[in-house]
Amino acid sequence: MSATSAGVGRPRDPEVDRRINQAALDVFGDAGWAGFAMETVARRAGIGKATLYLRWNSKEELLTDAVCGGLARISDVDTGTLHGDLVRLATQMIELYTGPASRAALRLNLEAPSIPGVAEHYAQLRTSQIAAARAIVRRGIGRGELPAGTSVTLLLDTLLGGAMMHALTTPPERRAALAAGAAGHARELVGFLLHAVVAPDRAGRESAAPGVP
């Protein structure tokens, strides 16, 4: 029985749940699946093993719930403009890879497909995130903010790949500053990308327009 399906009993302490989720992500990020153990998570969270075993029957269930409840998500947003939506999207990516679960996020990219139980949940999470990101770009195309022939895949690969790589290549001593200024860097990245995509199309349309006598 997982934490999400616990029966009636003493009310759960949200702070304990938060500590467990973070501890599980920390242990997985540090040691990977091979080093992930209920006892290690309990020690990291500062609780007894019995508390974990009352909530989860296995370490697969524990990690699945930590991923679903403690890992920041790349989600759909609708600010009303493509620029605003992409800034929020890039900000989420930077925060994910500079935040407290950044190591776990990297590990999941490598190990999740081979972890029983976790693989299915992680695949669903990734699918929903990709669908949300693609919906943002398609709305922008539909509103005329992007050229009709814009490649949704290439735009997102450039934006999210750039945001992720900037977060990962930032020196550890500067990660906190980047996290605090994530929105600012996201705006710079989005501004540069949209100019590269939109400006050539606008120039092409203007050059093709009939001349003014």
Residues 164-205 have pLDDT tens digits of 999 999 999 999 999 999 999 999 999 999 999 987 666 555
For the record, the structure tokens of 78 come out as 């609708």
Q: Last residue of a domain, which of 19, 53, 69?
A: 69
The predicted pLDDT at position 66 comes to 92
The predicted pLDDT at position 117 comes to 84
CATH code at 171?
1.10.357.10
- Domain encompassing residue 34: 11-69
Distance from C-alpha of 86 to C-alpha of 88, rounded to nearest angstrom? 5
Question: Within a domain: residue 123?
Answer: yes
Which residues are CB-neighbours of 210 under 8 A, at least 6 positions away?
none
Tell me the pLDDT tens digit for each residue of 4-25.
444 444 557 788 888 999 999 9
| Number of structural domains found in the chain | 2
Tell me the pLDDT tens digit for each residue of 99-125.
888 999 999 999 999 998 888 888 888
164 and 153: one domain?
yes
Global confidence as pTM:
0.81
Please compute, for residue 120, the number of CA atoms within 13 A of its CA located in the half-sphere on the CB side: 4
The predicted pLDDT at position 1 comes to 41
Question: Within a domain: residue 4?
Answer: no
* SS3 state at 101: coil
- pLDDT at residue 34 above 90? yes
Question: Within a domain: residue 6?
Answer: no
94 and 35: one domain?
no
